[in-house]
Each structure stands twice: as structure tokens, then as C-alpha cells.
Chain A
């Protein structure tokens, strides 16, 4: 991957790659700006996290503070099934169920869009956030919960005022892992988000992410060894840098805050 990317960057300057606002390597007039793909990736990821974080965290808190023990033991594996559904199924769900439904609410919504892909991706990563956050919250020492209750906190105050902050490092790590999962997600966006690289933050129009571009080129009839072919390695390296940075960040956060709450 590295050698192919090096060859790519010997033909396209890295400055163009990072600043050009268009990505049209397959057109007659070629532009190699990665920004539209990055924007598409960030947009779908942001929508996914906006869906998954509140729901996932609420589930984690509910399981920990409210639900009886036996219920928790059955619901957790059930939730994890959500994560094991093939993503192609999610993609179809986004395209054929979520988009038509959203179009009733937002008439201007395009048939392919970042919004429904992002929402469905969010549903997919809910178990990741809820499960890891639940582990983090239940790892908070019982004495802290007792302290909160002993001070006359209600369950809600205990959960969000004491337990969630005390488990925040674990929760942040779960979110970062969920983000890297969303950044790397391919099938849902390939099916439901359209494949039009576009530098926009509007979730109602078709976009393209880094991953779907790689799929698009790999499936098409781009000649092996051409410059167009090498673009996918450049895109791949960008993706790799993203997830690598995120994973490092989560590792660093975990290490830095892990023992803080003894």
C-alpha cells in the first residue's frame, strides 16, 4: 500500500491532495482533492455518533442503575446481535426503509443521502457504545455509588452526576472505537449514501466516503497500475491514518485516566 501511495504522490502533489476541493480522478478533467471524501466520511460518522451516543449511553445507564440483574443478563447479548447483522442488510434497510420514511418528513431528501446511511450506521454501533460503556460504569467502585445515594441523590442524579463522570474515560474510549468503526464502515454508505464525492456538510444530498470510493474503483474497469488505480491506495492510507490516530487516542485516554478513580 505504501509503495503504491508513494508512486501516487510522486505524480500528484500532496498539497493538491489535501487542499483541492474536488475529487474527480475518473473524469476527463482530473482533480485529486481528498477533502470531499473526508467530509463525506466525517458527515456520516457524525450522524452515526449523534444517534448512537445518546441511545447507547442511555441503555448503558439503564442496564446499570435501573434494570434487575437477570434482565440485564439477557438484554446485553440480545443487543450484541445488532452488531452481528451483516452490514449489507443494514445498507438495504437504510435505502429501502429509512430513506422513504425520512422523505415523508423531509421532502427535499435525495434518494441517496448521508442522513439515512448515518442513522443506520448509528443503530449498528449502538451495542458497541452501550456494551463498553456499561462495562465502564459497572467498573466504578460500589463505594462511589453508595456515597451518592448516601447524600440523598436520586437514581438519576447518581447515574449522570456520579457514575457517568467517573466512568467517562471508558465511555470516551467506547465512543472512539465506535467512531473508528463508523469511519471504516463501507457497505451501508456504499448502498445508501450515493457515490458522488461532494464537499458538503448537508446530510440530505448524496456523498461519497473514503471507503466507498475504494470499493467503486476496485469494482470498476480502472486499468491496473494506472494513476486512477493508485488513488485508492492514497485514499486507503488516509483512512488508515484516521483509524490509527483514533485507536491511539483511545489507548492514550485509557492509559491516562484508567487508575484515576481507583
Chain B
């Protein structure tokens, strides 16, 4: 196999919550500027794995990781890595829209402000750019100083994506970003993911098989903490190698 440009790699990754073995010997390599979907039944470890990619699990007591996760070939669990710097590179969108209880504008520029950026013009330009990227600009341009909590769920989620884009990460992790949204908002977000993959590496956890089929280039199937199968989405959905994958994607369990 030729040496490809892998953005994210996991090597012999094991993760534990206390004595519970949540991830077992995960080996995976994700391509740059592609969408990788993680699927699998609840409790299979897909979200846990996603959250190890930007060390979001660090704050959970008793959680520990063995093995390596490489971002551009660098181990993100190395001692000299600063978590806050890492998360500027690897942005995250959560299951439930979680805008800050601040104005729409403040939400989008939050990441820049905490980095110490004060230039009003730059802040305004970045805000507009990020909101345009998420197709939210036309909907909110007249109420940037209104509370973000007044937006609809779908708009809030797009705002959260805009907020993540504003600090220009190279990877965006999405943890079931549409599971709390209606079908129309879901369609908008999926459209967005499709557009964003030109510039970003996207990893998305989803419970929705059709969604994985629609938006992703690669799919990884997790079961009981193990990575059962990882392949091009089209390949996996048409001719899965493992029986378990077959059963899951055809809806026989899960």
C-alpha cells in the first residue's frame, strides 16, 4: 500500500473507564480532507473513541488511554502537548447544540477572543466568514447582538459549527450532530458537512445509517469496544466483510 497522507491515526489504542475496558486495540488511519463516519450500537465505544481524538475524556475521573493517537504524525497524548492548543487544531461539535449564553456574535468569536485577538475588524470579518460557511449569515446578520439561545435548535447547531470553524481547525469532530434535530435541519447540516470536507478532515459519529451512507467517504464499524471493520463507505454498505457489520447495517440488530 502506498504511503498516504493520513491526518489522524490510532495505533494499538486501548482506553479504560476505571476497570471497564472501553476501547480494545484500535488501529485506524483517517485520510485528510475526507469524512469518516463511526457507526455501531450504543455503548460500542464510538463516542469514546471520538472524544479521545481531542482529549475530551481527560476530565473524566478514572479514564486512561494506552497506545498512540497521531495527528499529522505527532502523538497527541505526549507530555509536551498542550490540550488547549490541541483543541484549536481539532474542533468539536456536540450532540446537543451548546451555544454559550452570550450573543450570536460573541459565540462565533469566542475562540478568537480567548486567544487574545482584539482587533474588531478581524473579529467581524471572521464572524461573517464562519457564518457564511455554515449558511447562517443571511438568517442572523440582523440579530448578531441577540442571544444565541433565541435561535432554533438547527440554527444553534450550525452556530456551534461556525464557532468551531472560526478558529480554523484542520479537523472537526462531530458527535451525533443531528440526533437532536428535525429532518430539515439535519439535511442542512449534512449539506454543510459535504461542503466542509473540501477544507477540513471530518470525523462524525452517527446512529443513522443512511446519514453515514450519505455524507461519509469512509466508515468504521465499532462493536463492544472493538473496531470490527473499516472501509470505504460504498464498499462497506454494498459488500461488508464481516457478518456482524452486515447484520448491523441491514438493521438486524443495534
Contact = CB atoms under 8 A, between A and B. Distances in A.
A200 to B, nearest CB: 42
Nearest to B95: A143
Interface residues of A, number: 22
Q: Quick one: which of A141, A144, A147, A150 has the most chain B CB within 10 A?
A: A150
B59 A152 contact: no
B225 interface: no
For the residues of A in contact with B, the DSSP-based class is helix
B100 A144 contact: yes
Given A69-B61, A147-B94, A147-B160, A152 B84 contact: yes
A161 B114 contact: yes
A162 interface: yes
Interface string A175-193: 0000000000000000000
A165 interface: yes
A225 interface: no
B160 A152 contact: no
A150 B149 contact: no
A68 interface: yes
Contacts of B56: 146, 149-150
Interface in A122-146: 141, 143-144, 146
B85 A146 contact: no
B114 A150 contact: no
A261 B149 CA distance: 8
A154 B85 CA distance: 9
B67 interface: no
Contacts of A218: none
A151 interface: yes
A153 B114 contact: yes
Contacts of B88: 151-152
A260 interface: yes
Nearest to A69: B61
B100 A152 contact: no
A81 B163 CA distance: 44
B114 to A, nearest CB: 5
Interface in A52-103: 68-69
Contacts of B177: none
Q: Quick one: which of A149, A154, A260 has the most chain B CB within 10 A?
A: A149
B111 interface: yes
Contact of B101 (A69, A149, A154, A261): A261
A262 interface: yes
Given A69-B61, A146-B94, A151 B101 contact: no
Contact of B61 (A68, A152, A161, A165): A68
Contacts of B40: none
Given A143-B96, A157-B114, A150 B164 contact: yes
Given A143-B98, A157-B114, A149 B87 contact: yes
A61 to B, nearest CB: 15
B91 interface: yes
Contact of A151 (B85, B149, B163): B163
A154 B86 CA distance: 11
Interface in B73-112: 83-88, 91-92, 94, 96, 98-102, 110-111
B84 A153 contact: yes
A34 interface: no
A68 B61 CA distance: 8
Closest 8 CB pairs of A and B: A152-B88, A150-B92, A143-B98, A152-B87, A147-B98, A151-B111, A152-B84, A261-B101
30 contacts: A68-B61, A69-B61, A143-B94, A143-B96, A146-B92, A147-B94, A147-B98, A147-B100, A148-B100, A149-B56, A149-B59, A149-B87, A150-B54, A150-B92, A151-B88, A151-B91, A151-B111, A151-B114, A151-B163, A151-B167, A152-B84, A152-B86, A152-B111, A152-B114, A152-B167, A153-B84, A153-B114, A157-B114, A161-B114, A165-B101
Interface of A: 68-69, 141, 143-144, 146-154, 157, 161-162, 165-166, 260-262
Interface of B: 54, 56, 59, 61, 83-88, 91-92, 94, 96, 98-102, 110-111, 114-115, 149, 160, 163-164, 167
